[in-house]
Structure 1
Amino acid sequence: MFEPDIGVEMREADLIATMTPLIADLAENGLGAVALAGSRGKGRSDEQSDYDFRVYADAYRGPDIHETEQWKRFESAMHEWEARGFRMDGVWMRSYAGVRRDLDAWLSGTAVPKTFEWTIWGYHLPTDLANQQITFDPEGALDGWKRQLAVYPEALRASVLQQYREVLHYWAGDYHYESKVARRDLVFLVGLTGKLANAILQVVFALNRAYFPGDGWNLPMAAELERLPPDFVVRMTSILSAGSDAVALRRQREELIAMISDLEVLIAA
């Protein structure tokens, strides 16, 4: 039977307790709201996971925050923890106003992930806010956002289903896909396979009224959902690990089209 390393858990708690006030102090008033996001916020961390902190405030110290004493204290502490084997991904500084504006758009059904270099499928604000672990919330804003997202918004669900079903319908019937398979155009097919896999997962999570996980842990989290096409994880694993010979590429296309068809049956039901 697996037993957790209590020592690691205690050190993680110590890291959070140490870093939270230093991060909060980056806000202009010294009272930024702080949360731990990413895989640790989702409760899905492993030995490869880092610590992704968020801080929310109306304004930050400056004019150049990286020259302030508050930033230097934060950075020094971060380097100390990294030297002890705890990898940290810095801190993402957000404005309350910006998050509220974007959240209102998502809740109304405008599902437009933001593009950043560090994400493959875009940054999904509801996923981040709904899953982050709050460590300091002086204004109660972070808790309020989590309560807003406690029930999956129907407008968002309808928007996600429409947007990504259109992608799947297009490519399931488009002759370019078949011709690229015949030519074994590998660069094109790698990109399209990723695009379709993402669209399938987006539909699956929205169908189940669950927030898309983002870039990590998609299949393990999908496996826990109630409404799935038959043998979903096994079939998706086969699709994503297909070979590059002509037979494998034809089979991959056929399996993707079959999965799209099964999704439509599930939605109709």
Structure 2
Amino acid sequence: MQRIIEGMAGQLADVPGVVGVMLGGSRARGEHLPGSDWDLGVYYRGGLDLDALRRSAGPGAEVAGPGDWGPWVNGGAWLRVDGVAVDWILRDLDRVERVWADCRRGRYEVGVQAGHPLGFWSPCYVGEVALGQLLADPEGELAALKQQTAHYPEPLREALLAAAWEAGFLLDAAAKGATRADVLYVSLCLSRAFGVLVQALFAHDRRWCLNEKGALAVAGQLPAAPTDFGRRARALLAAPGGTAGELAATVSRARELARETVAALTA
């Protein structure tokens, strides 16, 4: 399969507008399972020849152009190759470079994006380059950017650590929702609060957080995480309760865990 993927990357690199292709996801990080997808980041600049891209995908394959999947995951294709899932994810290289410039200044965005229940955190763009594997890079542009991203920018680290305050704010709001037995609202506040803390824990360790998948498990193993962070967070998220009393007790425990985490991050 590796040879097929490398050949596919070479074909994609020949599409007008495509700058290069990177292997991403769990396979790039060596964390994949036998049935894991092959995620290919297709980096383009300016106009992209969608007709040529569709021809590369083969008969019957659907290819979404820039913007068709949303503002951040802005297009691509879901393919099956010899029974294995292969995903093409389009990435506008100009935008990736702008996000990288923002990260170096300690700036980031969290945007609404289908498939990202905690929002799309813009540093993901940079993390994909930093952690990805080059498959096709005719002009060396991706290699140059990857070299730049080898070191996690301190201003971004500081910004994400400072943003951990939002977890406490969300849990204060959740406490009010608990008095009304508002399960949906409390659950959403809990998820967002722990998502913010996970981002801060990754940043503290100067580690790129690409998305929500598996992030809690990893965060619980990081040096700054309080004892049993992952287990405690999972228990609260799994069974927040249904009555006002049950929800209030859950929020109280979540507040305690959030306070411990923020204290560890700022120690």
Task: Give the TM-score band, short-chain normalised.
Answer: 0.7 to 0.9
For 1:75, the equivalent position in structure 2 comes to 58
Cα distance in structure 2, aligned partners of 1:222 and 1:153: 19
Aligned equivalent of 2:201: 204
1:26 to 15, 24, 28: 15
Paired with 2:4 and 2:249, the residues of 1 have a C-alpha distance of 49
Shift of 1:128: 1.5
Counting only pairs closer than 5 Å after superposition, residues 1-269 of structure 1 correspond to structure 2 as 11=1, 13-28=2-17, 32-47=19-34, 49-62=36-49, 65-66=50-51, 68=52, 71-76=54-59, 82=80, 84-92=82-90, 94-120=91-117, 121-123=119-121, 124-163=124-163, 165-172=164-171, 174=172, 176-246=173-243, 247-269=245-267
Residue 15 to residue 60, structure 1, CA distance change in 2 (3 Å): farther
Give the structure-1-normalised TM-score.
Answer: 0.81
Which sections of structure 2, spanning at least 5 residues, go unmatched? 63-78
Cα deviation 1:206-245 (Å, max 9, x = unaligned): 1222112312111232244222111111111112112423
Residue aligned with 1:35, SS: strand
TM-score (structure 2 length as normaliser): 0.82
Per the alignment, do residues 49 and 60 of structure 1 end up closer, same or farther by CA in structure 2, a change over 3 Å counting?
farther
Quote how far apart the aligned CAs of 1:19 are.
1.0
Tell me the distance in 2 between the aligned counterparts of 1:208 and 1:148.
18
Residues 241 and 250 in structure 2, CA contact (< 8 A), matched pair in contact too: no
Structure 1 position 185, deviation (Å): 0.5
Deviation at 1:47, TM superposition (A): 4.9
Tell me the distance in 1 between the aligned counterparts of 2:218 and 2:58. 33
- Name the aligned partner's letter for residue 80 of structure 2: E
2:83 and 2:235 mapped to 1: Cα distance?
35
Distance (Å, rounded) in 2 between the aligned partners of 1:22 and 1:231: 47
Cα separation, 2, equivalents of 1:83 and 1:136 = 19
For the 8 Å contact 1:27–1:59, the answer to whether it is kept is no
Confirm or deny: 8 A CA contact 2:21 2:135 kept in the other structure: yes
When residues 179 and 227 of structure 1 are mapped into structure 2, their CA distance, relative to the original with a 3 A threshold, is closer
Question: Residue 199 of structure 1: CA displacement?
Answer: 0.9
Q: Cα RMSD over matched residues? A: 2.5
Paired residue total: 248
Identical pairs, percent: 22
Alignment match, 2:66: none
Q: Which structure has the larger Rg over C-alpha atoms?
A: 1
Structure 1 residue 166, shift from structure 2 partner? 2.8
Q: SS of the counterpart of 2:235?
A: helix
Q: Which has the higher helix share?
A: 1
Once residues 111 and 174 of structure 2 are traced to their aligned partners in structure 1, the CA distance between those partners, rounded to angstroms, is 27
- 1:228 partner letter: A
Greater share of strand residues, 1 or 2? 2
- Distance of aligned partners of 1:190 and 1:199 in 2 relative to their CA distance in 1, 3 Å threshold: same
8 Å contact from structure 1 (residues 39, 216) kept in 2: no
**CA-CA distance at 1:77 after TM superposition:** 10
Q: Secondary structure at the match of 1:167?
A: helix
Q: What's the offset of the Cα at 1:167?
A: 0.9
Say whether the 8 Å CA contact 1:37–1:128 is kept in structure 2: yes
Q: Distance in 2 between matches of 1:90 and 1:76?
A: 16
